[in-house]
Amino acid sequence: MMDLGGVISHNPVKKDSWKTVLTLAFQSLGVVYGDLSTSPLYVYKSAFAEDIQHSETNEEIYGVLSFVFWTLTLIPLVKYVFIVLRADDNGEGGTFALYSLLCRHARVSSLPNCQLADEELSEYNKDVILSNDKSLTGSRLKSILEKHKFLQKVLLILALIGTCMVIGDGVLTPAISVFSAVSGLELSMSREQHQYVEVPVACAILVFLFALQHYGTHRVGFLFAPVVITWLLCISAIGVYNIFHWNPHVYQALSPYYMYKFLKKTQKGGWMSLGGILLCITGSEAMYADLGHFSQLSIKIAFSFVVYPSLILAYMGQAAYLSKHHTIESNYRIGFYVSVPEKIRWPVLAIAILAAVVGSQAIITGTFSIIKQCSALGCFPKVKIIHTSSKIHGQIYIPGINWTLMFLCLAVTVGFRDTKHLGNAAGLAVITVMLVTTCLMSLVIVLCWHKSIFLAVCFIFFFGSIEALYFSASLIKFLEGAWVPIALSLIFLIVMYVWHYGTLKKYEFDVQNKVSMNWLLSLGPNLGIVRVRGIGLIHTELVSGIPAIFSHFVTNLPAFHQVVVFLCIKSVPVPHVRPEERFLVGRIGPKEYRLYRCIARYGYHDVHKDDLEFEKDLTCSIAEFIRSEGPQGNLGIETIESDEKMTVVGTTSSNLDGVKMCEDDGVSEIVGSSEMREPKCTEKTRKKVRFILPASPQVDLSTQEELQELMDAREAGMAFILGHSYVRAKSGSSLMKKFVINLGYDFLRRNSRGPTYAIGIPCASTLEVGMIYHV
């Protein structure tokens, strides 16, 4: 039971008024830029943690400022704002959006049950840039990717690595943001006292932050943007004060020449300190990942005119202060708060903690979102997803992931207890995601935008070289904290790939063991058993053919329902599927068999709700198929695999000219719990079901009889038949395959959720049939 289709779709930028764009830009400050705006709290402290020393010549501090300025300019501003944001997947962004684009343009999808009919979806080709001069090299690259399964696996693993690093960022960003904000206490107490206060306070804030996730952010979300903009105004004002009060000539350090001087003097130490400097772009990926909630123009305006200048002023102000203070007691005190005027440190500390919480909230919500995408695309086990807001699309909460993130976040905070190790860990996660984006983006330039491969090479060479430099500086800190994101990503990558591999093998087994149509025809219209009133809904992953598990039902059960529907809930590589294109409905076997196939299609960002409307939509879609199949039917019918004809049918709310269904209270009659309108009740009053047909055209007698039979079956109730599969590696398989399938996949399957629509169904209305799969 799910919904169906309640999605807030974004209007194109062209139709947005300036008022709407500016409102979205203001709101994006709280959602997108919370993490990026808090980076001044720890960048200088991480850069000067160990590898370089602050000296009287100021070459180090000027060099760090120059690196920060050009990194912020080239990566977030040039790469993301001007280039990557244009590669949206029907308004959505993120690692999986790029992968989804490539899957559609080069047919390298990891989803096993793709159909040609999916390519007719409105959003499938809406983003294609039409070009008459597609490069020969691009066509060759496309054919190479489509031919070689190995390259497709490499592409999938690359996308999964980026996704895993985003999840790792969801652990590390809250830790370093909150820890750095709380570190302001160090200037008001001795170092001995401070070390016993900082960690407990940071942990208490983190526990509070994760505990609030259950309630959703829509109740306090309106405060996020004011908090972040207050923080940005605060740090930019302090920056301006420090520039004019301490060193008005600090702007000279923005010259790239100071980067050269810095590396020439510090050499290896300067290169290793880049691992701390790259933290200035922490959160930049959020501009692209959260694109679906805003518009390109609003995100560009917010960054270019508010966030970017505020951050530059903040970093220049810190450098100006430090350039005139060389006798600071120790590097322990090189950080943000030392440059804040003493009179306003406490208010700034309070604002910093609030900003850190907002920034952490954004990355946690982003982690929930990307895990939902992975699950929809068959790369993560099914997990419990709670929609915390019925009005705001994308507000979700995943309990198991939330508490896992909290435990890991507290573990790294207590385990490291300093900004240095946390910075090393967070830096590697951030730069790895950016490298993955650069690699995928270079393919998008050729395959989706149909530009020359020369432009793609220039893109990956220019930005890839910068990111590879930072990546190498972060990787060298492996033993000093950088091992954490690698370990976390490796664990999540194994989970994702094992689940994907097991799911793929299970689907291949289903395809190879389909029941033949001749066997079905030999049984006759009654299938060799008694047909009783009601609708039997059989869940299957197959989009064509009859699943082997159906033969188990027919041979082992004395009776079966008069109407049987093979239901497939599938994800397609687009963000959203329009409600009017939700269902593909077809018939299996001759008309008198009353066997139907219904494929419900969802995008990876579509909202699946436990909604009783699903049953109504499903029944109406079958009724509309029966009506349209008549001699005067007017719906387009597409022929796909196995000679089955499938009709595109929308949900009840979207198909205004289609069949409607009314349920009226009839004569009071107590029935069994197969009526599923009240899951908690064992009996209820039966409702009379009526189909309302369009005024024209008229339907023939056989169609009326079939609709009447469907109506009677719906009135009697709907039962859900679920196959309980036990997947085992077949004899002769390698030891690795046996380990992956028999232990890894089996463990994940036992601890994952069943089909979304089956949640909440009373046990009396479900039938589970076990079956062993030897893959």
Query: How does pLDDT run across 477-496, given as a tens digit for each residue?
Result: 888 888 999 999 999 999 99
Distance CA 405, CA 172 (A): 9
E strands, 106-247, in order: none
| Structure tokens belonging to residue 481 | 């904290």
Note the pLDDT of residue 467.
Answer: 94
Note the pLDDT of residue 678.
Answer: 33
The per-residue pLDDT of the chain, averaged, comes to 80
Note the pLDDT of residue 59.
Answer: 86
For the stretch 419-428, what's the b/e string if a residue is b when 16 or more beta carbons lie within 10 angstroms of its beta carbon?
bbbbbbbbbb
Mean pLDDT across the stretch 399-409? 92
- How sure is the predictor about 673, in pLDDT bands with cuts at 50, 70 and 90? very low
Note the pLDDT of residue 528.
Answer: 73
Q: Which helix (H) or strand (E) holds 451?
A: none
Q: Are 703 and 622 in contact (CB under 8 A)?
A: no
Note the pLDDT of residue 14.
Answer: 44
Could you say which DSSP state residue 684 is in? Answer: E
- How sure is the predictor about 730, in pLDDT bands with cuts at 50, 70 and 90? confident
Note the pLDDT of residue 552.
Answer: 77
Distance CA 345, CA 363 (A): 27
Note the pLDDT of residue 756.
Answer: 55
| Structure tokens belonging to residue 205 | 């804030």
What is the pairing mode between strands 595-603 and 660-671? Answer: unpaired
Give 466-472 contacts, CB < 8 A, sequence gap 24+: 466/71, 466/74, 466/75, 467/75, 467/431, 467/434, 467/435, 467/438, 468/435, 469/274, 470/71, 470/274, 470/275, 470/277, 470/278, 470/427, 470/431, 471/428, 471/431, 471/432, 471/435, 472/271
For residue 38, is pLDDT > 80?
A: yes
Distance CA 487, CA 762 (A): 41
Query: How does pLDDT run across 208-245, given as a tens digit for each residue?
Result: 989 888 877 666 667 888 999 999 999 999 999 999 99
Q: Are 13 and 296 in contact (CB under 8 A)?
A: yes
For residue 411, is pLDDT > 90?
A: yes
Q: Which helix (H) or strand (E) holds 100?
A: helix 95-106
Distance CA 290, CA 166 (A): 13
Measured at the CA of 483, the angle between CA 478 and CA 488, to 5 degrees, comes to 160
Query: How does pLDDT run across 68-107, given as a tens digit for each residue?
Result: 999 999 999 999 999 999 888 877 788 888 888 888 887 7
| Structure tokens belonging to residue 664 | 């009226």
CA atoms within 13 A of residue 277's CA, in its CB half-sphere: 31
For residue 691, is pLDDT > 80?
A: no
Q: Which helix (H) or strand (E) holds 644?
A: none
- How sure is the predictor about 129, in pLDDT bands with cuts at 50, 70 and 90? very low
Q: Are 68 and 43 in contact (CB under 8 A)?
A: yes
Query: How does pLDDT run across 538-548, given as a tens digit for each residue?
Result: 888 888 888 88
Cα 300 from chain centroid? 22
What pairs with residue 722 in β-bridges? Answer: 768
311 phi, psi to nearest 5 deg = -65, -40
Query: How does pLDDT run across 305-355, given as a tens digit for each residue?
Result: 999 999 999 999 999 998 888 765 544 467 788 888 888 988 999 999 999
For residue 428, is pLDDT > 70?
A: yes
Note the pLDDT of residue 312.
Answer: 96
Helices (H) and strands (E) in the chain, counts: 26, 12
Distance CA 357, CA 349 (A): 12
Between 106-110, 651-655, 711-715, the lowest mean confidence (pLDDT) is in 651-655
Distance CA 472, CA 470 (A): 5
- Model-level pTM? 0.83
For residue 665, is pLDDT > 60?
A: no
Note the pLDDT of residue 187.
Answer: 66
Note the pLDDT of residue 34.
Answer: 86
Distance CA 746, CA 499 (A): 9
What is the pairing mode between strands 559-572 and 595-603? Answer: parallel
- How sure is the predictor about 685, in pLDDT bands with cuts at 50, 70 and 90? very low
Note the pLDDT of residue 5.
Answer: 32
E strands, 352-448, in order: 386-387, 396-397
Distance CA 117, CA 751 (A): 33
Q: Are 323 and 335 in contact (CB under 8 A)?
A: no
